[in-house]
Structures are given as C-alpha cells and as structure tokens.
Amino acid sequence: MGQDNCKPQPGDLIEIDRPLHHHWALYMGDGYVIHLIPIGKREGKKKGVKVPVFIRTVKKELLMEVAGNDKYRVNNKSDQDHTPLPVEKIISCAVAYIGKELTYCSFGSNCERFVKKLRYGEGVSEQWRVFVGNELHILDMRDDKEYPKPGDLIEIKREYYDHWALYVGDGYVIHLTPVDQKVPTMSTRNGMIVIRTVMRELLKEVAGNDAWAVNNKYDKYRSPLPVEEIIRRAEGCISKNLPDDVFCSNIEHFVTKLRYGGQLRAFVNGMLHILDIGDDEDDPIPGDLIEIKREYYDHWALYVGDGYVIHVTPIGKAG
C-alpha cells in the first residue's frame, strides 16, 4: 500500500518493499506499471563457476495488484546524478518490452536496473550482493522461489568477519547480537566471555548493505533436524543471553547447533546453565550429549534412552 500522498506520474520509478528485497516497477499511467516477473531458471557458468540464470518476462499490471499489501513509493533518487529521458520515450521503450522474456543472473541485470535503463537509458543499480563460488556478485531479485527456506543458515559478509543467522520465515532471522561497547562481558580463567542476546529481526535489517547468502555447508557432513524442530529450538532461544568465547561457542556455532542439534548454554540470573529447549522439560532425548560436572573436570556421556547413557570409564592404571 502506498502513502496517501503517493501520486506517481508516468515515467516514475516505483520501489516496493518486499520482505527480503526491494522490487522495482515503472509507472505507465492510469494505475498501471511495467515490471519483471519470474518464470523460470536454468544453470549457467561464470569463469567456470556454475551460477543460476533467471528468466523473467516483462508484464504490464495494475500497481495495486503488483504491490499487494507491501508498501511502495515513488523513488527517482537517481535523478540527481542522471537526466531522465523524455516521458514519451520512456513510455514507448517500456511498451516495446511488454511480453518479452529477459535472462539475467546474479552478476547481471535485475529488476531495478531494468526500470532504470528505461528511465535513464542505462542501469544504475544499488541492489544487494551475494557470494557465488566465493566470488562477489550483484544479487538477483530473489522473487518467490529464490527466497531462503526456514531453517537455512545465512552467512552475512561483514567488513572484518562473517556474521551468521538462522532464517525462520516471513523475512525474519534469529541471530546473536554483534559485539559492541554495550554488550556485557564476564571474566573467566580462559579470558573474557562476551554475553550476547538472541534476537529475532528482519534479514534485510540485519544484513543492511552487506552481502549475504544461504550457506548450509555442513549438510554434506550432517543431516539437519526437521524444520519444525529447528524453528522450535530457535524460537526457544529468543531473548536469552548466551556466552560467546573462542574456546567453546560463537555466532556460527550457535546457528549450526540450532540446525543440526547440540547443547546450548545460557545465563540465568547470572549463572551459566545448559539451555533447555526441549518439549519435555529437562528429560534428555536419545542422541543427546550429557555433560556431568565433576569436581575437577567435566565428564561426558551419550544418552541412549530409557534412562541409560554410554560413556567411558577407567579400568585401571598401566604399570
């Protein structure tokens, strides 16, 4: 839905806020816009790296139908750097594209560049970026089928480190708050532990202008938990304070444990506890790792069900 004072004129660029990206259209007049819609995908190569090639068709539709319940606005921000073509030429060029199929990939043209080419005669895109085959590329539209799926791990390329989050659907991710001066720390014999808070936020707000991509890299080594279990575990952590130290846990470890299983620790009233995110209170489930606090060390066991564990016991001392 647009603002009441949003009155586009023919040739204006329309920016539509989707959950994970900004979709773009060109206003044609009488309530209609021209824009790209996804119709398929095939595989291509770039410098020997396989990349997706997206097939889009150019369609003229009512702006209200294209926007749906999403907010939209006129955004001719590039007018300050580029002179628009005459309105008649913009519209005639747009009409000539209706019904045509265009192909592009993550390092090529996209919906924003398409409509800006119509308005200015050249592409002036500021869309997000992603990594494909360890190379940085322009992000595709991420319409419909290109969304990450609930339970996916999201890798975000910060300037000096990689931030990680878990996608939970509807544009939201769960992640640990980044280090800053407001985050408390705790001193231990191994050094300082940063206390982080688990947050649920929109992916596009967490990523900002940084590149991001789905990265379930451990799937080839381990089978992820069922999606419902991943989401339940993740939502059970929201607002919890978790320790983050280089010896045990960090941002990536946190989300991988949510996806593949494993213990999570949290601070409750200043004390460190194993975080219980199970359905049956404190009962372990088969396959769980059990940490037992001995006087001078931690003993470990594997829970196999019916109250039993498997563990290693000493049987003597070699002479």
The two structure tokens encoding residue 91: 């519209």
Rg, C-alpha atoms of the chain = 25
288 vs 262: CA distance, rounded Å: 7
- The number of residues in the chain equals 319
Q: Is the separation of the CB atoms in 198 and 240 below 8 Å?
A: yes
How many other C-beta atoms can be found within 10 angstroms of the C-beta atom of residue 232?
A: 15
111 is known as an active-site residue: yes
Q: Is the separation of the CB atoms in 53 and 109 below 8 Å?
A: no
The two structure tokens encoding residue 193: 């532990």
Q: How far is CA 310 from CA 231, 261, 298, 307, 317, in A?
A: 29, 18, 15, 11, 21
Exposure of 260 in the CB half-sphere (CA atoms within 13 A): 15
The two structure tokens encoding residue 231: 């989401």
Instruction: Find all residues with CB under 8 Å of 217, minimum gap 6, and list them.
Output: 153
Q: Catalytic: which of 35, 111, 163, 175?
A: 111
Q: Catalytic: which of 23, 137, 163, 175?
A: 23
DSSP string, 222-274: SPPPPHHHHHHHHHTTTT-EEEEBTTTB-HHHHHHHHHH----EEEETTEEEE
141 vs 147: CA distance, rounded Å: 10
Q: Is the separation of the CB atoms in 260 and 224 below 8 Å?
A: yes
How many other C-beta atoms can be found within 10 angstroms of the C-beta atom of residue 117?
A: 17
For the annotated catalytic residues, the residue numbers are 23, 111
